[in-house]
Structure 1
């Protein structure tokens, strides 16, 4: 069987059997089986899910990372190998990332005697809940590693396209929850209460002014309310309403300024409406900051291996690969997947033609990076 067909078969098997973050037990077992069959050394890290392998010998170490978890989405892609797990889907393409890095591992194994060091392969769980990278770091998977590389497929780019950038790339991710507490009342006698729905509605509108009027327009900011919940019947003003949403930035200073302004707006509305607004912030991954040198190096290898390279735009999504880059230098890259539907969409369907060339790219990147550390 050709390498390309093997990688697509593996990708489809992973796609049929997706597992949520922290539950990737069968996925881990499959990876262990495939790596063992290729005589690739599996390292004995203490991990509940996920697996780490290593190829080569010597004192130089670089790492490649793939993420392996899926999303709580009911698939509607219509492909013959659709998810067999109801309500779970590889809607972000982690099955593709895994097959790419598996392919790179097989190619590196075939040239193991010629490698000028070791390549550690991280098949990371729980990227979607931003916990997996931290678990691998705690387990020691970055020990002795000098540089790390990873990828995300990019549905907005054609197959054969490559993009990355030095410096900030993916965004800080914060989740917020507002608990708006007024005073309930009969809908016919609103003057006897303090209407939490009216307050919440005005608060949503006011928050939109933060990015447009309080932050330098040259800085990247997304502040979005994504959920509103309140009330349980038609003729009662509810006592409380809950709002939930996300803040995305690329600079810590901007992040803190937005949080401070949001707090001021909430306090002002609470006073004006004789109500209470409690805000809880939940931190996701920090901004992903590529090392300039390794981003340039990754681009040069992409050009050598036949990609059309371009300078990536700032990305407002979150990516826990950022955790690794807080510890060691490296680069995260985008590879075109040409899906007509975007990431996290139930009809997401990346073009499998990207897999074999990307596997070759990462094997070359790893092998040549060992000469530059």
Structure 2
């Protein structure tokens, strides 16, 4: 354990430099070609064999000196279509309208550093460590594609990390049970009958229909789901109308559903369909609902989460362990735990002195880089302890 901590500390400057390089050159989902190659170059230096996945991403394997199980470590790599607002930052994004606004650059750098530390004790490792560098997390499709390309075949356990600006630097959380919510997307098209704005009696106003639905749909949360079962239904976009004096014939709404229960998820889906159809019927319009399943909830295996909590306390002290409440944010890490046991940890990076408490996906998001060595060590310690203990 001490050797891994010392190794991570030794590589800290390299880790920060690697992260800053990725931050300056952000790549959106399925476009992470440069990032994938940068990781491949590091694996080549270490002599760790790997294969690239399609179209982007990489899976590497470190085979220990003794036989044993296989544990997988996952880091995501994609950036967001967000304009960086961190003026004066030496490593500010060089890509207009693109930014690592969620910390995936830090995840990638931390996992590369963990690979370096584990390589130094390869002969002592009982089993195999698989490093999964995943593309396209932000659209919830990358993990599924990696699973389809064999990322968790013959894997006994999987562990992932997300840097977390809502938690203070120096704290790590890995809760038992629900961690991230499911994240679904729905689109509703209301069709009425358009016409002149001065003659509403001859029309069916799609604006009225869509507005009524937006106001009514929150009753699903307040009246059709259990009050102790968290659910979010958000309408994030509404496209309706063409001109000030034209009554709209069509309206399109786009929204998302977040929850922690598969049963609740199905209930909400059916309710959205019912609310849309009945609201449209009330006004004489029609409704077409397209509901797309996104990620499953991330639910940490109890045994694995407690195992991770012990590592946090042993590595960083009892005060470092935090029980962060579940978030209704989505994480496609759930596609990995759908196939094999595992858990997902949060590493705090919020530091007011360094202005790193901005929300994820904000243009001023940044990472307290002092927290990255904790993330790299968590990756390495989890894999080593799982295999050797």
Do these two structures clear the TM 0.5 threshold for a shared fold by scoring above it? yes
8 Å CA contact retained: 1:62, 1:369: yes
Query: What secondary structure, in the 3-state scheme, does the structure 2 residue paired with 1:60 have?
Result: strand
> Does 2:332 correspond to 1:320?
yes
Distance in structure 2 (CA, Å) of the matches to 1:82 and 1:140: 35
> Does 2:347 correspond to 1:335?
yes
1:272-307 deviation per Cα after TM superposition (whole angstroms, max 9, x unaligned)? 100011111111111111111001101110111115
Match of 1:21 in 2: 29
Q: How far has the Cα of 1:159 moved from its partner?
A: 0.7
Distance in structure 2 (CA, Å) of the matches to 1:262 and 1:361: 41
Distance in structure 2 (CA, Å) of the matches to 1:360 and 1:333: 12
Match of 1:271 in 2: 281
> Does 2:41 correspond to 1:3?
no
Query: What secondary structure, in the 3-state scheme, does the structure 1 residue paired with 2:330 have?
Result: coil
8 Å CA contact retained: 2:68, 2:387: no
Q: How far has the Cα of 1:143 moved from its partner?
A: 2.0
Match of 1:33 in 2: 41
Distance in structure 1 (CA, Å) of the matches to 2:250 and 2:373: 53
Match of 1:82 in 2: 92
Distance in structure 1 (CA, Å) of the matches to 2:374 and 2:299: 25
Where do 1:168-183 residues align within 5 Å?
A: 168-183=178-193
Match of 1:241 in 2: 251
Match of 1:346 in 2: 363
Deviates more, 1:226-235 or 1:47-56: 47-56
1:164-199 deviation per Cα after TM superposition (whole angstroms, max 9, x unaligned)? 222222111110111011110111111110111111
> Does 2:85 correspond to 1:69?
no
> Does 2:227 correspond to 1:227?
no
> Does 2:381 correspond to 1:368?
no
1:322-344 deviation per Cα after TM superposition (whole angstroms, max 9, x unaligned)? 00001000010111010221111
Match of 1:52 in 2: 59
Q: How far has the Cα of 1:371 moved from its partner?
A: 2.7
Where do 1:92-107 residues align within 5 Å?
A: 92-107=102-117
Alpha-carbon RMSD across the aligned residues, in angstroms, is: 1.3
Distance in structure 2 (CA, Å) of the matches to 1:320 and 1:271: 37
Distance in structure 2 (CA, Å) of the matches to 1:195 and 1:24: 45
Q: How far has the Cα of 1:202 moved from its partner?
A: 1.2
8 Å CA contact retained: 1:45, 1:139: no
8 Å CA contact retained: 1:163, 1:312: yes
8 Å CA contact retained: 1:45, 1:140: no
> Does 2:118 correspond to 1:108?
yes
Distance in structure 1 (CA, Å) of the matches to 2:270 and 2:145: 31
Distance in structure 2 (CA, Å) of the matches to 1:289 and 1:156: 20
Distance in structure 2 (CA, Å) of the matches to 1:29 and 1:213: 51
Q: How far has the Cα of 1:56 moved from its partner?
A: 2.7
1:308-357 deviation per Cα after TM superposition (whole angstroms, max 9, x unaligned)? 11223121011111000010000101110102211111110111111112
Distance in structure 2 (CA, Å) of the matches to 1:9 and 1:150: 22
Distance in structure 1 (CA, Å) of the matches to 2:232 and 2:42: 41
Q: How far has the Cα of 1:59 moved from its partner?
A: 3.6
Match of 2:290 in 1: 280
Gaps of 5+ in 2: 1-8, 351-355
How many corresponding residue pairs? Answer: 371
8 Å CA contact retained: 1:172, 1:285: yes
1:192-230 deviation per Cα after TM superposition (whole angstroms, max 9, x unaligned)? 101111111111010111101111100010001000111
Q: How far has the Cα of 1:2 moved from its partner?
A: 4.2
Query: What secondary structure, in the 3-state scheme, does the structure 2 residue paired with 1:65 have?
Result: strand
Match of 2:311 in 1: 301
8 Å CA contact retained: 1:170, 1:314: yes
8 Å CA contact retained: 2:83, 2:98: yes
Distance in structure 1 (CA, Å) of the matches to 2:250 and 2:82: 29
Deviates more, 1:78-87 or 1:93-102: 78-87
Gaps of 5+ in 1: none
8 Å CA contact retained: 1:45, 1:141: no
